[in-house]
């Protein structure tokens, strides 16, 4: 029963998930940077910091051992 999986469900593979995480982090980093300082340079800085945080998340925190179930 645990091995049954519906083929019609929409799943996101690991490559797409990492791309979505990068995109969301860059957008939110830019929004937070703009909200904090309200300058164009803060948008760029926030996007860069968001990108760095997303890369660290994808390379260290996101990969995990597959479940035994």
Q: Which two tokens stand for residue 9?
A: 């469900």
* Residue whose C-alpha is closest to residue 21's, from 68, 61, 69, 58: 58
The Cα 25–Cα 19 span in angstroms is 10
How does DSSP classify residue 2? T
pLDDT (0 to 100) of residue 49: 92
Q: What is the pTM of this model?
A: 0.69
pLDDT (0 to 100) of residue 52: 92
Q: Per residue in 9-37, pLDDT tens?
A: 566 666 677 888 888 989 999 999 889 88
pLDDT (0 to 100) of residue 38: 87
pLDDT (0 to 100) of residue 4: 58
Using the predicted structure, report yes or no on whether residue 7 has a pLDDT greater than 60.
no
């Amino acid at each position: 029963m645990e091995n049954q999986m519906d083929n019609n469900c929409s799943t996101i593979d690991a490559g797409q998930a990492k791309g979505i995480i990068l995109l969301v982090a860059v957008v939110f980093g830019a929004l937070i940077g703009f909200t904090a300082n309200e300058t164009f340079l803060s948008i760029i800085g926030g996007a860069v910091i968001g990108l760095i945080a997303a890369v660290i998340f994808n390379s260290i925190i996101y990969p995990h051992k597959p479940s035994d179930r």
